[in-house]
Amino acid sequence: MAKHPDKKKWAEIAEKELKGKSPESLNWQSPEGITIKPLYTSEDLEGIDFIDSLPGFDPFVRGPRATMYTLRPWTIRQYAGFSSAKESNEFYKRNLAAGQKGLSVAFDLATHRGYDSDHPRVIGDVGKAGVPIDSVEDMKILFNEIPLDKMSVSMTMNGAVLPVLAGYIVAAEEQGVSQEKLTGTIQNDILKEYLTRNTYIYPPEPSMRIVSDIIGYCSEHMPKYNTVSISGYHMMEAGADSVLQTAFTIADGIEYVRAALNAGLDIDAFAPRLSFFFGVGMNFFMEIAMLRAARYLWADLMKQFNPKSQKSLMLRTHVQTSGWSLTQQDPYNNIVRTTLEALAAALGGTQSLHTNAFDEAVSLPTDLSARVARNTQIIIQEESQVTRVVDPLAGSYYVESLTSEIVKKARALIDEVEELGGMTKAIVAGMPKMRIEEAAARRQAKIDQGKEVIVGVNKYKVEDEVPIEVREISEAVRDNQVAWINQIKEKRDAAEVKRCLEAITNCAESGGNLLEVCIPAVRARATVGEISDAMEKVFGRYTATTQCISGVYAGEYQDDEIIVSIRKRTEQFMEKRGRRPRILLTKMGQDGHDRGIKVVATAYADLGFDVDISPMFQTPEEASKMAIENDVHVVGVSSLAGAHKILVPQLIESLKSQGAGDILIVVGGIIPPGDYEFLFNAGVTNVFGPGTMVTDSANQVLNALEKKG
């Protein structure tokens, strides 16, 4: 047999089947800028240095463990938390009884941002997108009857990471479990917060100190605990393609390694307990190749620090299926999407996995949807037989070539970050965030034009949607939390709390390990908000600069008639009114997901609107003040975390009270269909749910302005 097949003969046959077109006409340019060919052969593997590598060995392309799933499948985790600690605890116990193997805790936005539930800025956020934790008493309820010496616990927390991790340690202590027995992961990845998620509290420099303090403390006292989960998932959700996610996640990891080394830690003392968190979307083979490429790059780049242990070179990762790929329209399609994404994660070699529920495009998961999501993993593990072979796609011409391409392109981006002085400086310069926002805008334009198919949204639409059950969080949750905080404060030793909080402030100012001084404060029943405030006195609270890119969305359309038509309408508006239609886009409450608002901002600007973007985390009063000062025609509210029924009516009342009730209000984002009527009755002009084409929303806004006269 010849070394290479006769590609010339294949090309001739393909050309006939293509009716005279060359096979190259089938080439596809992926969002990552990788040319995907219709045929791959052994020629595409030439020069790839990891082809003959083995799982469990450097560079770990085929997996961090030699036997991978043949000995033990990935850990099934379901990221969950909502309403109250008691209700979340009951949910966890039901899931564990049904086959879930580890806990992954979702905290509410108030907790993420270091606010107690009684703070006026979080009135719409308590218990909505996670569980509220105000003190160790909540943490104890959360893990009631869950043995923390046996259960691996993953906690997604970055901003208020110190009081939350200290709360977990003290809750275990009061359960009779010592620190050295604790297993699991704290995310503790603050850099990605400045990039995408935005649930930061302090500026980058003191935040990096917090990361290294946690690494240092846990290296000494919690040897089984993973101290950082370096997250690319939120980058993907913000719009990053697989190359961007790989490059910026690995670059974040290198920055944390340097921070720990600068704090005097030994590379082999902490590097083996660094873990990663990637997101997988719908480009099946690209996602598989991404996980393989990430392991290669991490092993290669870690060698510059001269570790003695091979474990310091191993990239171990948790994976979550995409939330952004879920659709409100024809929502049962989401079960299929999540299954494909979960299979990609498994074939890519994840160590643990969370599968999103099919209803998460509109609400928190119900018990039914959570069961379907969990069983998706169980079925793949126990019925598909994919766990019988280590890295079953190894040797695939396509997968190996794709892995190599991602390595090359991601390495070039990492080099660019290094030239800027590392990831912290790159973030300050705005480079990574801008690249991600450009990718998100380009993709949205492709979807809006139908160039990228979303079944049920821009193709194969269903005329009559079947309503699905939606979980709604009662406003009584916040009332109960406030009463609970007051009860705890009445019983605690106020003088001891004050002494502990002063110790935290002094440590922040003068040096020392911040986690170490937070633990006594938690024991004394200091709250998350009080501990966060004690450090804020020294560090301050970070406020990001909000910027908007332009030209990217329209650039994908070029001179498409839809763009031309809307621009003509905005020009006519200006001729009639003397100025362009002006819109303020705002996010109220503590939700930091800004993909939607940024995509709408760049698109509307390209369509001829004057666009203002408010700072993040606005109160209704602050948003109304900015709308009046900027003399806008419309306020567009982006809502993703369920606070719209509280905050939007407050915004409308605030505008009316200042004589600006004529400003139109439109709302977009994750809005359950059952809430539309409520919003319309409150005075909202339009509601744009998930999957709405930006061009359609722009036309509807212009219609409303013309109707208003």
Query: In this structure, what DSSP letter does residue 50 have?
Result: T
Cβ contacts of residue 549 below 8 Å, gap of 6+? Answer: 434, 437, 438, 441, 598, 602
Of the residues 192, 318, 433, 587, only one is catalytic, namely 587
Between strands 317-321 and 274-280, the pairing is: parallel
d(CA 350, CA 681): 47
Residue 644 main-chain phi, psi, to 5 deg: -65, -30
> What's the CA gap between 156 and 364, in Å, rounded?
16
Of 287, 267, 268, which is closest to residue 278 (Cα–Cα)?
A: 287
| CA geometry: angle 206, 216, 104, nearest 5 deg | 85
**Count H helices, E strands: the chain?**
27, 16
Q: Name the catalytic one among 138, 241, 591, 610.
A: 591
77 in Cβ contact with 318 (< 8 Å): yes
234 in catalytic set? yes
Catalytic residue among 69, 233, 256, 557: 233
Tokens, residue 210:
């917090």
Is 593 a known active-site residue? yes
| Residues 180 and 224: beta-carbon distance below 8 Å | yes
Annotated catalytic residue, options 593, 598, 633, 644: 593
Per-position DSSP letters for 429-445, written without gaps between them? HTHHHHHHHHHHHHHHH
Strand boundaries in 26-117, DSSP class E: 28-29, 35-36, 75-80, 102-106
CA 698/CA 607 separation, integer angstroms: 8
> Is-catalytic flag, 149?
no
Peptide bond into 38 cis (omega under 30): no
Contact in structure between 176 and 158 (CB atoms under 8 Å): no
Question: Residue 494 burial (CB < 10 Å; 0-12/13-18/19+)?
Answer: exposed
The catalytic residue among 128, 192, 234, 433 is: 234
Q: What is the DSSP letter of 224?
A: T
Q: Which residues of 154-177 are buried (b: 16+ CB within 10 A; e: fewer)?
A: bbbbbbbbbbbbbbbbbbbbeeeb
d(CA 393, CA 44): 15
Which residues lie closer than 8 Å to 47 by C-beta, 6 or more apart? none
The percent of the chain in helix, strand and coil, each rounded to the nearest 5, is 55, 10, 35
**Which positions are annotated as active-site residues?**
79, 233-234, 587, 591, 593
